[in-house]
Amino acid sequence: MNFLKKSAAVILLAFVLSCVFGGFNIPNDTDDSLATIYSTDGRILRMSENDAQQYLKDGWEKDFKNVMTTVWKTDGSSKSILKSQVGMYINSGWSADKSDVTVVMTDKDGNEKEIFKDNAELYKEKGWRIKTESVPKEDKGKNIKAVALTFDDGPNKQTTNRLLDILEENNVKATFFVLGDRAEKDAETLKRIYNDKMEIGSHTYSHKQLTKMSAENIKNEVDKTNNAIYKAIGQNPTLIRPPYGSYNENVKSLSGVPIVLWSVDTLDWKSKNADAIYKEVTESVKDGSVLLFHDIYSTSVDAVERIIPELKNRGYEMVTVSELAEIKGKEMKSGGVYTNF
């Protein structure tokens, strides 16, 4: 795999550098002045503690465990993968949420067991039944092809308003994960998002990495954002998307609303190129996708203007995240993590 080659190259580079500068030690782990840091796309760097601080603010991690996550299949197989690979795995039938591939079954004595879906028939033959028989999503959303366009990091007076014009003209709904401090500074644009019947989610107050914060500080980020949004529109956000998609048990229990990540990353912040964004979406989109954009870049708005008619041509409806969950018959729970529907 290409990714493996890339990360191997970086590790090799780190090794060579440590040989040259560190006197042939592999990597010089006894040197406390150097920090090893990891990115969710598999890069590994060694640098001074001081230099590392900036990287950590940009979403790099000191603990390799934090750039990894687990995906599952209904047959019970699981894999530990880089967080940046989640979308790719979801597109080939894996799930980032274990509860998607399991069912809770109960026997006549009331004993409960969580088992992988492929084993459900076997248990039924032994007299177990599915405890919460929810409507299979294949049945509910069968005839409706739909996706959710989602926009992070705003609002921004210029670009967000132009985007709203485009969404309105095309009669398309979207979801905005807004930052509390920007919502405070630009309550007018947030009001328009709300009045245009878009869904509003929290992207926290100041875009810090929540997994590096104490429970108290996480709660503070969540509450401050809710207050800023409530002040502008008289409603609390219905969803949350933690910055960098980073979450842990504290984030889950303190969010108060469903956690929504994404299955198609347009990488618009990186390319700032409408053609590249268009290509990313049109190649990766599928029924139930959650697409990640940032409404603070004019290039992203340019791309969306072209993407909407193309998705319509392919028969997709563009709806808010909560509407997409509803169409696909999936109930979202507070603290649950959702990447697609």
List residues with catalytic annotation. 152, 294
Cβ(173)–Cβ(318) below 8 Å = yes
What's the closest the beta carbon of residue 81 comes to Ni ion, in angstroms? Answer: 22
Stretch 72-91 residues interacting with Ni ion (CB under 5 A): none
Q: Helix (H, G, I), strand (E, B), or coil: what is residue 289?
A: coil
Cα(271)–Cα(260) distance, rounded to whole angstroms? 23
Residue 295 binds Ni ion, judged by CB under 5 A:
no
Cα(23)–Cα(163) distance, rounded to whole angstroms? 55
For Ni ion (CB under 5 A), the number of binding residues is: 3
Query: Beta strand 102-106 with 129-130: parallel, antiparallel or unpaired?
Result: antiparallel
DSSP state of 79: E
Burial of 65 (0-12, 13-18, 19+ CB in 10 A): exposed
What's the closest the beta carbon of residue 44 comes to Ni ion, in angstroms? Answer: 23
What's the closest the beta carbon of residue 196 comes to Ni ion, in angstroms? Answer: 21
Near Ni ion by CB under 5 A: residue from 61, 100, 153, 305: 153
Nearer to Ni ion, 161 or 204 (CB): 204
Nearer to Ni ion, 201 or 243 (CB): 243
Q: Helix (H, G, I), strand (E, B), or coil: what is residue 250?
A: helix
Residue 152 binds Ni ion, judged by CB under 5 A:
yes
What's the closest the beta carbon of residue 274 comes to Ni ion, in angstroms? Answer: 20
Site mask for Ni ion (CB under 5 A), range 196-235, x = bound = ----------------------------------------
State residue 187 phi and psi, 5-degree precision. -65, -30
Q: Which residues bind Ni ion (CB under 5 A)?
A: 152-153, 243
